[in-house]
Structure 1
Amino acid sequence: MTTVKEREAIASEFAEKMNEDELLNCMRCGFCLPHCPTYIESGLKESYSPRGRIALMKAVTDGLIEPDEDVERSLSLCLGCRACEPVCPSGVKYGHLLEEARDIIHQNKDHSFPVKTIRKAVFSGLFPHQERMQNMTSLLGFYQRSGLQYIARKTGVLSMLPDHLATMEKVLPKVPTKSEMKKRPTDLPSIGPVLKKVAFFSGCLMDTMFLETNKATLKLLQLAGCEIVIPKSQACCGALHGHSGEKEGAKRLAKRNIEAFEADEVDYIITNAGGCGAFLIDYDHLLQDEPTWHERAIAFTNKLKDISEILVDLRFHEKTRLKLPAQTVTFQDSCHLRNVMNTSIAPRILLQAIEGIDFREMKDADRCCGSAGIYNIVESEMSMKILDTKMAHTKSTQADIVVTANPGCLLQMQLGIEREKMGDCTKAVHIADLLVEAAAL
């Protein structure tokens, strides 16, 4: 519960920092409503819609209401999927407003000691340091390989966890060893004539827990005719910080990444995680108040491309025979890849180019799956409601494979498959892994 002093500080910073023009851009037309998962799953509760949340932000900014627990709850429950933005006739940058509001609230709250400790450990102690990410992932690998996982499952220890977390433990990927993580190369030649020189954003979770998907991505880039550099000094993209009210931490990581990728002259900077790509492409907004860094951020963001986009641009699917055994495939959009990076056609072009598959479009494939970073942990009830709807649509496709392009979405879809007991007939995969498999046949 916030104190009077905290509410006063929050209200003062809302008035000082919130973008008044952006708040006024919202015409209250309601075009965003049918695209907002929390509005739909809450039973059409206005304060859980983008329009309603903007109204609350504006009211706090104007001093009409206090930034009380109800306001904070409304903003906390937002997935940040930004599905409202492409359908907004006024072009309101809702995601920017949301992150600014969350940052103001969290920076002016006196969190309890346990919360402070956890936030410091995660945002300052873990994600900015890739070696620590490797160490943490190595512990998970030890748990999986040592027999501890077998014992935990057999003894029923996992039943002490909330149902969705116990199920999530079952769908975690088999993680590599620390030595395998450290062996990842820093540059790779093209296979065949060099068409482009690219830098690869390897990410933190992608380069540890999902290392095999990163390897698949690099292989695809080589096959497409790319010479690849992987800057050693790059860091976490900062998305978790930016979405969780840790704006200054996000800025520090952004500057590290801009510096890291400026070192090499490349045509493009390639990402394979929708969530990372969307935050990276917003670096120019994040650093807009620092002129020198803002210019450098623009140069950085102008080079960003998702793996699917560059593969299509280089006509990889036309030059490489892609083939798989007969099966039905559907695609679940990464919200941030679609809504922020404006990438939705390229993945479908690539999937439909694979011989042997029957591609079936999923109903509301562009609607959030409920993962949203750590949302499925901190807001599990709403997350599972959204996932239940997503799985109903998945079932209707009768797909053997659900393809996505973001690690959080991948785990969430695997979680849904496990919850629905569909594991014998359906699996979820990252598009890079499927394409590498198809190219090898």
Structure 2
Amino acid sequence: MMGHERADAASPAALQLHGLSVDGVNQCVHCGLCLSACPTFSLLGTEMDSPRGRIVLIKSLAEGRIDLTDSAVAHLSLCLDCRACETVCPAGVPYGRLIEAARAEIERQRPGGPVRRFVRWLNFGLLLTSPRALALAAAALRLYQVIGLQRFVRASGLLRLLPGTLPAWEALLPSLPPAAERAPLPEQIPAAGARRARVALLTGCVQQAVFGAHNRATASVLAKNGYEVVVPRGQGCCGALHAHGGDHARAVALARQTIATFERAGADAVGVNTSGCGAHMKGYWHLLADDPAWAARARTFSTSVR
């Protein structure tokens, strides 16, 4: 912690937790039960790369006792936001909200250079918010894979010429499905037999582009079990990745858009087959808690997510 200590009174403004009080940070009793659940602590073994250590760091930032240094940013950025620590925490610390608020403050204070800002815009501002752009990107990657270009690039060593972490990202590319699996589902799928309820299915952004077959299977299982399935047109990204990445403004905008889109479906429940999206959408009530026009709608929506 000494490496982060504030040098003088002219340091940057203290971290704002975007509506989360310091009391949320103070719920931590430092028992250490979260350590064994944390993948970054298990890998690195350093206290500041554990939930407990990051909570101390966030609290110190919020109270203005330390600055948002390169080291502080690195520790906060390494967190996967998997929230495994929340499942074992006896004090119920809302760790996911804290780390997301801290990252939003990082983006406000330290947005980075032009290259980083462009990459963030490309991902958060274009691909994840535009189904058309994401579909075109998926089609291009599918072509890259099926014509043998991917095998050539990997075998030739050309990946080593790519800057930064792009070679690692390329190595993680999943096999993109054919166009038929990426095609949109019908807007309405009737229940088989007597209708039990009406479910609005989230097809998502990356989910539909990469795992479209999973969406079709989900709709089929629901229909065969007596649920009428509606697939609201106009839906897109739920904003989970934006929230995790500190893009608070877009996360809020996408939450409002998702709520409005699914409200129009008139369904009894919102069906989600991606755990990250579902967890985030169940937390819309907190994300929009300070917005009088959306708070009640967000709470109603969050309780309908299944």
Specify if TM > 0.5. yes
Q: Provide structure 2 residue ranges, at least 5 long, that are not aligned to the other structure.
A: 1-6
Confirm or deny that 1:61 pairs with 2:65: no
SS at match of 1:269: strand
| Alignment partners' CA distance in 2, 1:150 and 1:22 | 49
Q: Of the candidates 160, 169, 172, which is equivalent to residue 168 of structure 1?
A: 172
Q: Which residue of 2 aligns with 1:28?
A: 30
| Alignment partners' CA distance in 2, 1:289 and 1:114 | 33
Q: Which residue of 1 aligns with 2:3?
A: none
| Alignment partners' CA distance in 1, 2:93 and 2:150 | 47
Relative to structure 1, the CA distance from residue 186 to residue 8 in structure 2 (aligned partners, 3 Å threshold; closer, same or farther) is farther
Q: Which residue of 2 aligns with 1:42?
A: 44
TM-score normalised to the size of structure 1? 0.63
SS at match of 2:208: coil
Relative to structure 1, the CA distance from residue 288 to residue 203 in structure 2 (aligned partners, 3 Å threshold; closer, same or farther) is same
Of the structure 1 ranges 152-161 and 223-232, higher mean CA displacement relative to structure 2 is found in 152-161
Relative to structure 1, the CA distance from residue 110 to residue 160 in structure 2 (aligned partners, 3 Å threshold; closer, same or farther) is closer
Relative to structure 1, the CA distance from residue 216 to residue 231 in structure 2 (aligned partners, 3 Å threshold; closer, same or farther) is same
Q: Which residue of 2 aligns with 1:304?
A: 305
| Alignment partners' CA distance in 2, 1:195 and 1:18 | 40
| Alignment partners' CA distance in 1, 2:148 and 2:35 | 48
Give me the CA root mean square deviation: 2.4
The structural deviation recorded for 1:292 is 2.4
- Where do 1:327-338 residues align within 5 Å? none
| Alignment partners' CA distance in 2, 1:87 and 1:147 | 46
What is the count of residue pairs matched by the alignment?
Answer: 297
The structural deviation recorded for 1:153 is 4.5
The structural deviation recorded for 1:176 is 2.5
- Where do 1:273-312 residues align within 5 Å? 273-305=274-306
SS at match of 1:86: helix
> Which amino acid is 1:25 matched to?
Q
The structural deviation recorded for 1:189 is 0.9
SS at match of 2:293: helix
SS at match of 1:199: strand
Q: Which residue of 2 aligns with 1:248?
A: 249
Contact 1:15 1:62 in 2 (8 A): no
The structural deviation recorded for 1:98 is 0.7
SS at match of 1:237: coil
The structural deviation recorded for 1:279 is 1.0
Confirm or deny that 1:236 pairs with 2:237: yes
| Alignment partners' CA distance in 2, 1:273 and 1:16 | 26
> Which amino acid is 2:279 matched to?
A
The structural deviation recorded for 1:18 is 4.8
The structural deviation recorded for 1:210 is 1.1
The structural deviation recorded for 1:31 is 1.9
- Where do 1:377-416 residues align within 5 Å? none
Q: Which residue of 2 aligns with 1:266?
A: 267
The structural deviation recorded for 1:67 is 2.0
SS at match of 2:294: helix
| Alignment partners' CA distance in 1, 2:296 and 2:241 | 24
Contact 2:283 2:302 in 1 (8 A): yes
Q: Which has the higher strand share?
A: 1
| Alignment partners' CA distance in 2, 1:16 and 1:205 | 27
> Which amino acid is 2:282 matched to?
I
> Which amino acid is 1:61 matched to?
A
The structural deviation recorded for 1:159 is 5.9
Confirm or deny that 1:93 pairs with 2:97: no
| Alignment partners' CA distance in 1, 2:185 and 2:111 | 41
Q: Which residue of 2 aligns with 1:216?
A: 217
Q: Provide structure 1 residue ranges, at least 5 long, that are not aligned to the other structure.
A: 306-441
Question: Percent identical across equivalent pairs?
Answer: 36
The structural deviation recorded for 1:8 is 3.9
Give CA deviations for 1:282-334 in whole Å, capped at 9, x if unaligned: 111111110221110111111111xxxxxxxxxxxxxxxxxxxxxxxxxxxxx
> Which amino acid is 1:28 matched to?
H
TM-score normalised to the size of structure 2? 0.89
Relative to structure 1, the CA distance from residue 77 to residue 180 in structure 2 (aligned partners, 3 Å threshold; closer, same or farther) is closer
The structural deviation recorded for 1:201 is 0.4
| Alignment partners' CA distance in 2, 1:168 and 1:121 | 19
| Alignment partners' CA distance in 2, 1:284 and 1:51 | 26
The structural deviation recorded for 1:145 is 2.6
Contact 2:238 2:258 in 1 (8 A): yes
Contact 2:15 2:102 in 1 (8 A): no
Q: Which residue of 2 aligns with 1:202?
A: 203
Contact 2:35 2:52 in 1 (8 A): yes
